[in-house]
Amino acid sequence: MINAPFKAVCFMLATISLLSVSDAAAKWLVPHYSAVQIVFLRALLGVGPALALVVWEQGRRGLATSYLFAHTVRSVLMLVSWLLFIIALRSISLANAYTLVFGAPLFMTLFGRIFLGERVSHSRWVAVIGGFVGVLIVLSPASLGFSLAAFVALSAAVVWAVTSLVARRLSQHEPSTRILFYYMAISTLATLPFAAASWTPIALGHVPLFLLTGLIGVAAHWLLAQAFRYGEVSLIAPFEYTGLVWAMALGYWLWGDVPSSGVLAGGALIIASGIYMVRHEGGSGRTEKEHGEAEDEGPTPSPSPVSSASSASSP
């Protein structure tokens, strides 16, 4: 019989691999379509499966919410983050974009202290400082450089961190499937007029890629929920950083991208800081039973907007 931690790791690895493929599909599409059109179609294709997931788990009552304003604020902020990420992909490689947005957990810690008055332990400050040093290395002239695209990718991480402050509160009251549905629905409505204004006819060969970016979100949401059901946060969260391996592999295979030594060094420092912070979280000792109960409340926050689909269901 397969033990629970092994299942959790397998589910998390599957989640990140799917999301990396989805982001690669988005990068392939971005030279041909506006970022808002890509986001609109991704959300539109995800509404139906997300609705089915809610009804399957909770019935029609699962759609009722008393937190529509919070859903709207969270969804709009996530839209901005996702749009910035896609815009950045126009000019920089998938691996470079991933490296910068992996700084999101560090911004989350900093903003939590500033805006929510959260207590930040010594180990967290060490991780934040180390992560910011890693970002500076990536943005140094010897590596990626502080280009407009790099600034946009970093902005995506900052906006995602602000989104997480809202999402932390919302996830205490709403199940993850409902959060996912409202994100998809609100995103579809919010981007519809802008997508219509800049609409580009979809080439037949691009239809599978659009389907991929839309449907993977719901599939990854389910996989992520399973990962947090079977494993502790401190066990599975670091495996999100395998997305950088996928990004480098897909980037090299599809576009011939090779990260510079500076990007690799800065990325390694950012990842090490993130793992260090996760490992020193005070609440990492939850049991499998507690995770099973927590699944009804929504999965634990995903560390960065790289997990773009899982972020639709979490934090």
Overall pTM > 0.95 = no
Residue range 282-291: mean pLDDT, rounded: 43
Residue range 213-242: mean pLDDT, rounded: 79
Given this model, what pLDDT does residue 80 score? 93
75 touches 186 (CB < 8 A) = yes
**Listed range (101-105, 199-203, 310-314) with the worst mean pLDDT:** 310-314
Q: At what angle do helices 261-279 and 104-115 cross, to 10 degrees?
A: 50
- DSSP assignment of 241-267 equals GHHHHHHHHHHHHHH-----HHHHHHH
pLDDT at 300 over 70: no
Q: Angle CA(176)–CA(57)–CA(187) in degrees, nearest 5?
A: 45
Using pLDDT thresholds of 50, 70 and 90, give the confidence band for residue 274. confident
pLDDT digits (tens, 9 = 90+) for 125-163: 888 888 888 888 887 766 766 788 889 999 998 998 888
pLDDT at 217 over 90: no
The pLDDT mean for the chain works out to: 82
User: Distance between CA 95 and CA 92 in Å, rounded?
Assistant: 8
Given this model, what pLDDT does residue 313 score? 39
In percent, how much of the chain has pLDDT > 70? 86
CA 2 to chain centre: 28
User: Distance between CA 262 and CA 31 in Å, rounded?
Assistant: 27
pLDDT digits (tens, 9 = 90+) for 63-74: 999 999 999 999
Using pLDDT thresholds of 50, 70 and 90, give the confidence band for residue 286. very low
User: Distance between CA 232 and CA 126 in Å, rounded?
Assistant: 23
Given this model, what pLDDT does residue 39 score? 92
